[in-house]
Amino acid sequence: MPNVSLAPDSTPYTLPNEASTTLERAELERVTAEQRALGRRIVAVQGLGFVGCIMATVIADATGADGKPIYFVHGHQRPSRRSFWKVPVINTGKPPVSSSDPEVPEIFTRTVDEKKTFRATWHNYAYEVADIVVVDIQLDATKPAFGEAEKGYCDVTHFRDGMRTLAKHIKPDCMILVETTVPPGTCDRIVKPIVEEEFKARGIDTTKYPPLVAHSYERVMPGGSYVRSIRDFWRVFSGVNEQSKRLAREFLTNVLNTEEFPLTELENTNASEMAKVMENTYRAVNIALTLEWARFAEDIGVNVFTVRDAIRMRKGTHDNLLRPSLGVGGYCLTKDPVLANWAMQDVFGIDDSLGVAINAVNINDTMPQHTIDIIKAEYPELRDVRVAVLGVSYIEDVGDTRHSPSATLVRLLKEEWAAVECHDQFVETWPEMEEVSVRQNLAEVIPGAEVIVFAVGHSDYRSLDPLEVLRMNGGKPLIIDCSNFLSDATIRSYLQAGSKVKGVGKGHIPSLA
């Protein structure tokens, strides 16, 4: 593979070599000295993924009472072929993520080009000069068997390596703020001991300079409120000691809108880490519950979504009832219960399990099978049946495909030898399903499809004219609504034009004919 490559947006880049590494070190030294002279503190953000890249801009955009920037941010991305392209893209002032939030491109332009308070790099010198390091590297759960999350575990090897890299380079008084979702016990039992070990190897007195490790989890929602979900939202935090807590509070107060969204300080990092995984487990269990009722509603001719709306009228107690869908995706709900269950057993040595949490994950992971069952009620034999899947991201109006239930749906369809075509306006490449082409033009997917699955509720899908869809298709396809994306009026239009329509939890559809 050549050393000169193209980022997804066609920005050319060259992977680091000895000469470019020397030049990058010199540039980091120059920029850091310049920023220090302006009175700004230096923050390194480790990992420029969906959370890290936006968090970096929020930090770089923060200003003090005088209206001047408080921090300069070195965004650090490891120089791997899969993700290094983010460095040159960011340094042109462009976001490395696709989102419907108009503030995303604006804040990159503002911080990189206008304020010049954010720069991406691959060089570890960024950690040497940092006053604060925000950790946003990936830590995933492995589920070795489909529908058997109880066998899941967390491989912390790469996370440990990342923490060791920091500990080898940071200053003794640098605070490490872990923002990555981690199993309970991570900061106190993994990060802190690694930092202590490396400090001692460097001859640093850990009595005088105890590791400063804090934890504050994000609640990012990468849709229309992507940036605001990081900056203008409540945060929970803690630290491994009082100094870590104090520094974390000061930093978070400087960069987040804590006047409107006050911070919550918990007693230790075990508590703050538990808060994140328990919070997401609650949502996962909530969704799993609705699937059972969706199946019940289909069997007895009821629209579970109007039932849900009626229940949600009980404000304060029932208004957070979630909805059934194709399945649960994203980086949190699919893995956080598994992280917690693994931590209980492997970090703390407790001979028990989080049974309700793990059962919810199993229900959610296998939920796409229910959509397959709905399709097979009309097409018992799926071999060579042409299926158009609209939406491969895990949530509407973003390009994030991590743990998307559409991936499970497509795999299950292909196992049945269906002919599957996928469309998603926000997704150019599908890393988890590299063998599947994702079309950007509906005219390449809809024509001739015998089944059209509305898998994700992208705004453009919701506004599609049924008659235009059928004109484009050239037939009368089976329409599948995976989560109340189609209104009753839209469904009637399809029915009146001769198509059949079915939906998750939508047992009332026959009454609309």
146/167 Cα distance (integer angstroms): 37
Q: Is residue 321 part of a domain?
A: no
Range of the domain at 177: 4-268
The answer to whether 435 and 409 are in contact (CB under 8 A) is no
Q: Is residue 262 part of a domain?
A: yes
Whether residue 407 is predicted with pLDDT greater than 80 in this model: the reply is yes
pLDDT per position as a tens digit, 452-468: 999 999 999 999 999 99
Q: Is residue 53 part of a domain?
A: yes
Q: Can you tell me which residue has the tokens 């489909």?
A: 146
pLDDT per position as a tens digit, 41-92: 999 999 999 899 999 999 999 999 999 999 999 999 998 878 889 999 999 9
How many separate domains does the chain show? 2
CA atoms 154, 158, 162, 167: torsion sign: positive
Beta bridge partners of 303: 506
pLDDT per position as a tens digit, 329-350: 887 888 999 999 999 999 999 9
Residue 5: the pLDDT is 43
Cβ atoms within 10 Å, residue 10 = 7
Q: Is residue 281 part of a domain?
A: no
Quick one: 50 and 183 in the same domain? yes
One DSSP character per residue, 290-301 reads HHHHHHHHHHHT
Q: Which helix (H) or strand (E) holds 237?
A: strand 235-239
109/467 Cα distance (integer angstroms): 41
481/503 Cα distance (integer angstroms): 4
Q: Is residue 293 part of a domain?
A: no
Q: Is residue 153 part of a domain?
A: yes
255: nearest Cα among 452, 415, 58 = 58
Mean pLDDT of 291-298: 95
CATH label of the domain that carries residue 185: 3.40.50.720
> 360 vs 89, 288, 326, 333, CA distance in Å?
39, 5, 15, 10
Quick one: 243 and 111 in the same domain? yes
One DSSP character per residue, 423-461 reads E-TT-S--GGGTTS-EES-GGGTSTT-SEEEE-S--HHH
End residue of a domain, out of 210, 240, 268: 268
255/70 Cα distance (integer angstroms): 9
Quick one: 380 and 238 in the same domain? no
Residue 431: the pLDDT is 87
Residue 201: the pLDDT is 98
Q: Is residue 437 part of a domain?
A: yes
One DSSP character per residue, 150-167 reads GG-B---HHHHHHHHHHH
pLDDT per position as a tens digit, 2-15: 333 445 665 666 77
Quick one: 209 and 77 in the same domain? yes
207: phi > 0 → left, psi -120 to 50 → alpha, else beta; which? alpha
User: Model pTM?
Assistant: 0.88
Q: For residue 104, how many C-alpha atoms fall within 13 Å in the half-sphere facing its CB?
A: 23
pLDDT per position as a tens digit, 414-449: 999 999 999 999 998 898 898 999 999 999 999 999
End residue of a domain, out of 268, 298, 326: 268
Quick one: 206 and 83 in the same domain? yes
Q: Is residue 325 part of a domain?
A: no
